[in-house]
Every structure is written in C-alpha cells, then in structure tokens.
Structure 1
C-alpha cells in the first residue's frame, strides 16, 4: 500500500499546486501562449466531466467519484499481490479522481489549464486518470490474472 499512497498523494499535491497557480496567476489573464497556436496555459472552469459532458451535475459527480474511489481503494487493500503496473494504474486513477473531487466540492467545478488547442483543456488529475486507465487496460489485455506470474 505504501507505493499506492505515495502515488495517490503525489498526484493530489501536484494537481492542487498547479490549480492554485492557475486560479491565482492564470485566471486574471485567461491564457498564456507557451508555444503559439500549439500549447497554451488556459484557465477553464469545467462544470462537466471529460470533454465537458454532463454539465452541472455536481452532486452526481461527487457521489459517483466518492463511491468508485472508495471501491478502488478497498480493492487495492484487499489485493496486495497484484501486478505493480496495475497497482500504479489504480493509484493514478484514485489520485486523479480525488484531485478533481476536491475541486468539485470546493468550487462546484474543476479547474483545467493545459491547452493543446486540438484537445479539450485538462489538468494533472486528468493526466493521472488517463495514464492510470491505460496501465490498467494494458494489464487486463496482457495477463489472465491481476497477480504477477510465478517465476
């Protein structure tokens, strides 16, 4: 559980730091081009889910995120002998989910800031969820069990 806790806490802290910066420095100016027309830092208040779907469903997101996050944490605690990549993936998803949950509870929306202009604006928590989901998918597709193969 130690690696899981470190990953979860790291994602949450990085997410909180970048969002704090975005609220205090980026919100007043709106957007800062880092690489013109390719990558900008843009302040966005997302009241929906991925890609802005399900706008203004705050209570739904809070309840679902809390339930799923608790379920994943219980799963991690009950399955101590799982593939390391699966543990990392689940921990990234939990850290990202909690990062965005904090925003939904505090502000009623999620603060996004990374803007590649060809993709919806996102944040560190979103990165954790996506990278975590990719790792989980890899393990599911590659192995027949969540446990590492015996050598």
Structure 2
C-alpha cells in the first residue's frame, strides 16, 4: 500500500512545485507561451471548483475535501489492498485532492496555470489533471469489474 501513498505524494509535490514556479515567474493573468498555438502557462486564481463553479465557497470546499480524503484513505486501506488498479486510481484522486486543498488552506484560492490554446477549455493545474485521470481510471475500472462479474455469473450458470 505504501507505493500508492508515494504516488499521491509525488502528485502533490509536482503540483505544488508547478504552482510555486507559476507564482514566482508569471504575474497574475500573465501568459508565457510554451508551444505556440498549443500550450501556454497563464497564472489564474480559482476561488471555485472546476470551471470556477461555487466561487468563494471555501468552507464548503474544506468540508467536502476532508470528507473525500477520508473516504479515499478508507477505500485504499480496505479495498485497495486487493486491487492494484483500484488503488492506483485512488492514489491519483488523493494526490489531486490534497494538492488543491493545500492551495485553498494557505492561499484561499487554487493556482491554475496550464492553458490549452487549441481548444476553449478552462485553465487547470497538475492536481486537476491527476483528479481527472484518476476518475477516468476509476470509471474504467468499475466498468471492467462489472463486466468481469457479469462474465463470471454467466459461466457459473452453464
């Protein structure tokens, strides 16, 4: 199980490093072009959740995040021991949740900086990517697990 907590820690460290570098090197709303017409870094303060929904509701985010972190740790300890794919998905979600929680606690906003220039998509950060990939892995895992159970039931009926 330790490896999955280390994965979460690595996500948090990379997330916090990129946010620190953003704060130190890019003025608020400033942009640094990385790959023309594809990727830039734009310093944005997000006081809400994805797409800035529920802006300014910090107490709500504190409560929800503490609950989510607790639930993830519970499932990592109980179910994650039995399934590496499930534990990996949880570790990505945990790292992302903690990364953005640190910002909310110490800054009262989340530092976002990654901007995709080729699509109209909100600015995001490493924690957001980790959360999104973790949720996608979780959904795929749940579909696969359901399919596997269905297949076993079918074989058992023969």
Give yes or no for TM over 0.5.
Answer: yes
Give a deviation string over 1:89-112, Cα, whole Å, max 9, x none. Answer: 101000000000000000000000
Match of 1:112 in 2: 112
Distance 1:44 1:77, change over 3 A: same
Give a deviation string over 1:16-71, Cα, whole Å, max 9, x none. Answer: 10000000111267111112332110000000100111110111001101111111
Unaligned 5+ residue runs, structure 1?
Answer: 147-151
Unaligned 5+ residue runs, structure 2?
Answer: 149-158
1:128-143 correspondence runs (5 A): 128-143=130-145
In the superposition, the TM-score normalised over structure 1's length comes to 0.91
Question: Structure 1 segments of 4 or more deviating over 4 A?
Answer: none
Return the index of the structure with the highest Cα Rg: 2
Match of 2:57 in 1: 57
Match of 1:90 in 2: 90
Distance 1:73 1:145, change over 3 A: farther
Match of 1:16 in 2: 16
What's the C-alpha RMSD, in Å, of the aligned pairs?
1.9
What is the total number of aligned residue pairs between the two structures?
147
Distance 1:25 1:61 in 2: 28
Alpha-carbon distance, 1:4 to partner: 1.2
